[in-house]
Chain A
Amino acid sequence: MKIENVKILRWAIGTVIIVGCIVFVLVKPLPFLFYHDLPNVGFFGRALFIILLSSFLALYRIWKGPTGADRVVAVDIFGILIIGFCAVLTITTKRSWYIDIAIAWALQSFVSVLALSKYLEGKDFDE
């Protein structure tokens, strides 16, 4: 198989995936983790689905990063996306301990990313 044919095949697969995601967002929201009389259920279902899609894009970059710095950047972005996900879950379930999870995740992610960047730089941790 020629290289141009492989390129066209990958382009077609990516287009099918993107169109499928857009159609899924417009047609069917995800109905999970909602309390019973929430208004705007469709908006929050689509919001959670879009955040999940963004975190899958970050996971793709972790899987296929050429260098280690790409993977560290993607881990940082993944942690920040999870903070946003916990904030949306706070609205939809009306339970205030999800935002506690968000604060704890922010602190832990910050410390771990600083340690990983020091490891990239190639120095000791107690400098």
Chain B
Amino acid sequence: MNNTIGLIFVGIGIAFNLFGCIGLVRLPDVYNRLQAATKCVTLGTCSILFGTFLVMGFTAAGIKSILCMWFLLLASPTAAHAIARGAHRAGVKLCQESVADQYAEDKEGEA
């Protein structure tokens, strides 16, 4: 029973990974790519690691996969935020269809 539920979690995570990477190829802008890819791939990999925990049970590998999932949930949004901040400060432009740039307005307000 645990084995079947774990396999379902692994399948859902792999589907999320594939859709996130299609978004990474198809979307027009750095920020759009960052949003689609980081959210989908982080949650998909967390689902794969939780499925690994359900299949392996309370062994060393299962506890280590829970540990890896916790670290990934902490680290990946931090890295995404750092990339977005660095790209905006380096002067990467938004795509043509975008309607608002609130971070630039905030920086103008500071200066």
Residues of A within 8 A of B (CB): 39-40, 43, 47, 50-51, 53-55, 57-58, 60-61, 67-70, 72-74, 76-77, 80-81, 83-84, 87-88, 90-91, 96, 99-100, 102-103, 106-107, 110, 113-114, 116-122
Contacts and interface: CB of A to CB of B under 8 A. Distances in A.
A110 B78 CA distance: 9
Contacts of A76: 38, 76, 79-80, 83
A70 B56 contact: no
Query: Among the interface residues B38, B61, B80, B89, which one has the most CB atoms of the partner chain A within 10 A?
Result: B61
Contact of A73 (B34, B64, B65, B85): B34
Interface residues of B, number: 51
Interface of B: 3, 6-7, 10-11, 13-14, 17-18, 20-22, 24-25, 30, 33-34, 37-38, 41-42, 44-45, 48-49, 51-52, 55-56, 59-61, 64-65, 67-68, 71-72, 75-76, 78-80, 82-83, 85-87, 89-90, 92
Main secondary structure of the interface of B (DSSP, over half): helix
Main secondary structure of the interface of A (DSSP, over half): helix
B37 A77 contact: yes
Given A50-B14, A69-B86, A83-B49, 11 more contacts: A47-B11, A68-B90, A69-B30, A72-B83, A76-B38, A77-B37, A81-B17, A84-B14, A99-B65, A103-B67, A117-B82
